[in-house]
Amino acid sequence: MVVTPVQRRLLVVDPCDDCHELLPGLRTAGWEVDSCTLASVGDRSCDVGLLRLQPSHLERPEAVKELIGRSGTEWIAVLSQDVLRLQNVGDFVCEWFFDFHTLPFDVARVQVTLGRAFGMARLRGKGFAQVDEPEHELLGDSRPIRELRKLLSKLAPTESPVLIRGDSGTGKELVAKTLHRQSQRHAKPFVAINCGAIPEHLIQSELFGHEKGAFTGAHQRKVGRIEAAHGGTLFLDEIGDLPMELQANLLRFLQEKQIERVGGSQPIPVDVRVLAATHVDLEAAVAKGTFREDLYYRLNVLQVITAPLRERHGDVAMLANHFSRFYSQETGRRPRSFSEDALVAMGQHPWPGNVRELANRVRRGLVLAEGRQIEAVDLGLQGEQAIAPPMATLEDYKHRAERQALCDVLNRHSDNLSVAARVLGVSRPTFYRLLHKHQIR
């Protein structure tokens, strides 16, 4: 059997004379070498990068950070003695580079470091798979998220109201935006209002607008959120917190398709599709008399339920890597992968705050991480004790253990199911059969 050598592409940026002398030996060792200036990098891709760090790079580091962050690979800094003496060079190199070399080169050491960087880049590339999708996409490959995407593709083209239900932090507004983006109204406004975040005395004006002089402080006409969404989509988040009086006004609008501004007397036709979301039990609220039954039926024509993160097996690690890349721009730090302990801790955590909690913990981890990986302690998950389940039959324990094993291996190897099956010591067909049996994917 003929083994095809792995292609290894090296990009040398702002090379010096010593770098040029090094290149022939690297080509002989099997590296495909390209070189350019930092200003002309453009869209060139590579497996490993070598950059001669200069004082100008440290004075204006944004270009170097943008290059390294965009490339998604490992970089090695080349430093002269003069650059080594500059203030903060150590912190900058430790944060953004895999390793560094001082001039003149030790050729043997350079080749070893390049090999290690190549191996780390390949591992790191797998860890960050599937996160380059647009920010508005519903990320994940678990059964609940796949079924949700399929359902939204059916509901989006319709004009019917949709009630989106689910725990806090499960992405109800993201679902609403996806419905709007995939609808015929996508070129028109998407207007969101959180019914629980606006003071009660201002909600009517926010929703319906007001005329000049309608009340004290109304110095000019104000267009309300409903009218602003004309032609598009109106998203009413936390609809269960809407006061009873406003529920009656909203119901009238849904029936008549027109509004009156506060202080006005002329009806204004408005064409919007209404999406509503809640994390409370509206049926119970109707029974208690705190939510109008007729409004409930008006809003609950079509229904979407967002799954809690603890049920989205295999999505946690991928989402965590997505947030690591997303928030690295905010924190000014390089995206970090997660240690084995961190992956285990994330897999065992119940995520009461769901995706919002995961995003916040990763954001915290990026700030606190001192090494090249985010550890469980950086996420605030170290030392959490699992709650012991109630006693059950031996068969229940076997079933629970089998399911837990599948969930654990998916949290670490969701990007490669062949590896996941091999870790569990079963064939790939058996692995798929188990996933189907436990309704995990």
Q: What is the pLDDT of residues 8-53, one digit of tens each?
A: 899 999 998 888 888 888 888 889 999 999 988 887 888 899 999 9
Residue 222 sits in the same domain as residue 276: yes
Q: Kindly give, in sequence order, each residue whose CB lies less than 8 Å from that of residue 320, ignoring residues fewer than 6 positions away.
A: 338, 346, 358, 362
Closest by alpha carbon to 239, among 184, 327, 162, 187? 162
Residue 225 sits in the same domain as residue 177: yes
Region class of 268: left (phi > 0), else alpha (psi between -120 and 50), else beta: beta
Task: Specify the DSSP element, H or E, that contains 36.
Answer: strand 31-36
Rg (CA), the chain: 28
Domain of 404 in residue numbering reads as 391-441
Q: Kindly give, in sequence order, each residue whose CB lies less than 8 Å from that of residue 217, ignoring residues fewer than 6 positions away.
A: none
Which of the four pLDDT bands, split at 50, 70 and 90, describes residue 132? very low
Residue 115 sits in the same domain as residue 234: no
Give residue-wise pLDDT tens across range 366-407: 988 887 789 999 999 975 544 445 567 777 777 778 888 887
Give the pLDDT confidence score for residue 1 in this predicted structure. Answer: 41
Give the pLDDT confidence score for residue 295 in this predicted structure. Answer: 94
Look at residues 292, 307, 322 and tell me which one is the last residue of a structural domain.
Answer: 307
How far is it between the farthest Cα atoms of the chain?
86
Q: Is residue 117, in this structure, part of any structural domain at all? A: yes
DSSP string over 69-125: HHH-SEEEEEE-HHHHTSTTHHHHHHHH-SEEEESSP-HHHHHHHHHHHHHHHHHHH
Which of the four pLDDT bands, split at 50, 70 and 90, describes residue 4? very low
Give the pLDDT confidence score for residue 59 in this predicted structure. Answer: 87
Q: Kindly give, in sequence order, each residue whose CB lies less than 8 Å from that of residue 144, ignoring residues fewer than 6 positions away.
A: 307, 311, 312
Which of the four pLDDT bands, split at 50, 70 and 90, describes residue 133? very low
Counting residues of the chain whose pLDDT is more than 90, the rounded percentage is 38
Residue 169 sits in the same domain as residue 296: yes
Which of the four pLDDT bands, split at 50, 70 and 90, describes residue 274? very high
Cα 385 to Cα 368: distance, rounded to the nearest angstrom:
22
Say which residue, 334 or 180, is predicted with more confidence. Answer: 180
Cα 337 to Cα 309: distance, rounded to the nearest angstrom:
20
Peptide bond before residue 104 is cis, with ω within 30 degrees of 0: yes
Which of the four pLDDT bands, split at 50, 70 and 90, describes residue 131? very low
Give the pLDDT confidence score for residue 126 in this predicted structure. Answer: 42
**Cα separation values, 64 from 50, 67, 92, 167, Å:** 12, 5, 10, 41
* End-to-end C-alpha distance for the chain, whole angstroms: 36
Residue 88 sits in the same domain as residue 12: yes
Tokens standing for 361?
């913990």
Q: Is residue 427, in this structure, part of any structural domain at all? A: yes
Residue 182 sits in the same domain as residue 122: no
Residue 68 sits in the same domain as residue 116: yes
pLDDT beyond 60 at 95: yes
pLDDT beyond 80 at 72: no
Residue 176 sits in the same domain as residue 109: no
Q: Is residue 242, in this structure, part of any structural domain at all? A: yes
CB of 268 within 8 A of CB of 258?
A: yes
pLDDT winner (highest mean) among 95-109, 178-192, 377-391: 178-192
Rounded mean pLDDT, 269-288: 93
Give the pLDDT confidence score for residue 388 in this predicted structure. Answer: 45
Residue 187 sits in the same domain as residue 100: no
Residue 178 sits in the same domain as residue 299: yes
Rounded mean pLDDT, 266-270: 90
Look at residues 276, 307, 338 and tell me which one is the last residue of a structural domain.
Answer: 307
Give residue-wise pLDDT tens across range 294-324: 999 999 999 999 999 999 988 998 899 889 9
CB of 344 within 8 A of CB of 205?
A: no
Tokens standing for 264?
């006005």
Which of the four pLDDT bands, split at 50, 70 and 90, describes residue 178? very high
Give the pLDDT confidence score for residue 300 in this predicted structure. Answer: 94
Q: Is residue 95, in this structure, part of any structural domain at all? A: yes
Q: Is residue 241, in this structure, part of any structural domain at all? A: yes
Closest by alpha carbon to 229, among 188, 278, 276? 188
Q: HSE of 41 in the Cβ direction (CA atoms, 13 Å)?
A: 20
Residue 95 sits in the same domain as residue 209: no
Give residue-wise pLDDT tens across range 115-130: 888 887 776 654 444 4
CB of 406 within 8 A of CB of 143?
A: no
Cα 234 to Cα 191: distance, rounded to the nearest angstrom:
5
Closest by alpha carbon to 129, among 301, 318, 259? 318
- The 10 Å Cβ neighbour count of residue 159 is 12
Closest by alpha carbon to 307, among 432, 408, 440? 440
Closest by alpha carbon to 43, among 17, 25, 65, 67? 67
Q: Is residue 56, in this structure, part of any structural domain at all? A: yes
Rounded mean pLDDT, 137-158: 91
Give the pLDDT confidence score for residue 390 in this predicted structure. Answer: 59
Give the pLDDT confidence score for residue 123 in this predicted structure. Answer: 63
Give the pLDDT confidence score for residue 163 in this predicted structure. Answer: 96
Q: Is residue 360, in this structure, part of any structural domain at all? A: no
Give the pLDDT confidence score for residue 6 in this predicted structure. Answer: 61
Mean pLDDT score of the chain: 85
Q: Which CATH number characterizes residue 403's domain?
A: 1.10.10
Q: Which CATH number characterizes residue 162's domain?
A: 3.40.50.300
Tokens standing for 209?
């607008």
Say which residue, 43 or 347, is predicted with more confidence. Answer: 347
Cα 328 to Cα 322: distance, rounded to the nearest angstrom:
10
Count of structural domains, the chain: 3
Residue 184 sits in the same domain as residue 297: yes
pLDDT beyond 80 at 136: no
Region class of 202: left (phi > 0), else alpha (psi between -120 and 50), else beta: alpha
Sheet of 162-165: strand order equals 190-194, 233-237, 273-278, 162-165, 302-305
Look at residues 253, 285, 307 and tell me which one is the last residue of a structural domain.
Answer: 307
Q: Write the single-letter amino acid at 158.
A: T
Give the pLDDT confidence score for residue 234 in this predicted structure. Answer: 95
Q: Is residue 379, in this structure, part of any structural domain at all? A: no
Which of the four pLDDT bands, split at 50, 70 and 90, describes residue 264? confident
β-bridge pairing 48-52 and 373-374: unpaired
Q: Which CATH number characterizes residue 14's domain?
A: 3.40.50.2300
